[in-house]
Structure 1
């Protein structure tokens, strides 16, 4: 897709240290979009990008970058953050007997509260006139109506909650920013650290490279309109039922 990122001038990618986030930043840079890259280290080593440090557990770090951008606000913000397996090795629960309060709390902090804090500080920066978009990476397993297998309780619930917040933010933004889009996107199964423990046995062709996923996602973002705000879409641009 040769025109990915069309119509956007300045973007902020939270989670640019991850596979999908970095690929999104690279794709936007290659098409002339100004890119601010956020990661925990603050060094994404992307030529032409402006890097900053943030931590989902530190709201002040998100507030600081918002303040730095106040005079030159972005029109595209991507929350490319999320976790499936925690750093301590806690895998998605296969049974309700495996539910652990601390693990569930951490999952929600990263997958739900983190993107909500990004939205809290970044959405008010959007210009009231002109096209602008806020996108959070979600997952198909966050769909309640599509749930046929159960399990993965904390991850599913945290993504379902994120999808609800996206809907809430879209309604609120729609009152003041008529051309804004707030949406959640499912990138598919991408060859990153997040999916690494679950790649065995995947059907051929289902695992995508980060650069392919980024191109697909940006193509979906380009096609979104205010009528799509508050919804969840997969990497092909098809709506996922809540």
Structure 2
């Protein structure tokens, strides 16, 4: 990898990815809402900020997202659904990455191996859902998995060596997850970033459109 673009670079995992890539000697462009005004819930913001990039990037990672938005916590039951809270989840966790993927054809080189990765979550897996709850967040992540899979099919028509995947980073100890960790084991952002980059290193164009966890194992849809 020579040039990387990290969306959500001010977050726990995003900043760790930037640091890990820079240690490797990769030239990194890191973008976030707080530092660069990139608001994934604002179509005009995405077009303006990404439109100002030259590229190409042989690695693009969308590391943005949120479990709790505007104080709305994950629902424990379908009876707790709030329409606005659900729309907020979709706007940031599904539509936002889709808007970035819309620019993929221009940002990625056509003749070289390149990776476009979107951080998803195992709870977005329909087949792996055994306990219910967290409906809005689950649904938004399931939606972004479909978006990634569909974008990968289209991207392969023009970028034969491109790999477009959804990645589950595991449970990472960040502000994003801290109040929900409970007894679940969690890794620090630096460790998660290293594992994710290890998975990215091993991906081939034959694996485009798939969903992998931090250990490189396939996650069912």
Match of 2:129 among 124, 128, 147: 147
1:166-198 C-alpha deviation (Å, 9 max, x unpaired): 100000011111100000100010010111111
What is the rounded CA distance, in whole Å, between the counterparts of 2:199 and 2:45 in structure 1? 29
What is the rounded CA distance, in whole Å, between the counterparts of 1:85 and 1:63 in structure 2? 25
Alignment of 1:32-111 (within 5 A): 32-42=25-35, 52-70=36-54, 72-86=55-69, 88-111=70-93
- Corresponding residue for 1:195? 177
TM-score, normalised with respect to structure 2: 0.97
SS at match of 1:176: coil
What is the rounded CA distance, in whole Å, between the counterparts of 1:83 and 1:230 in structure 2? 23
TM-score, normalised with respect to structure 1: 0.88
What is the rounded CA distance, in whole Å, between the counterparts of 2:105 and 2:74 in structure 1? 31
* RMSD over aligned Cα atoms: 1.1
Aligned length: 221
Alignment of 1:1-242 (within 5 A): 8-42=1-35, 52-70=36-54, 72-86=55-69, 88-202=70-184, 206-242=185-221
1:15-72 C-alpha deviation (Å, 9 max, x unpaired): 0110000000000011111101111122xxxxxxxxx4311122232223333323x3
Cα distance, 1:122 vs. partner? Answer: 3.3
1:133-183 C-alpha deviation (Å, 9 max, x unpaired): 110000001111111111110011000000001100000011111100000
SS at match of 1:118: helix
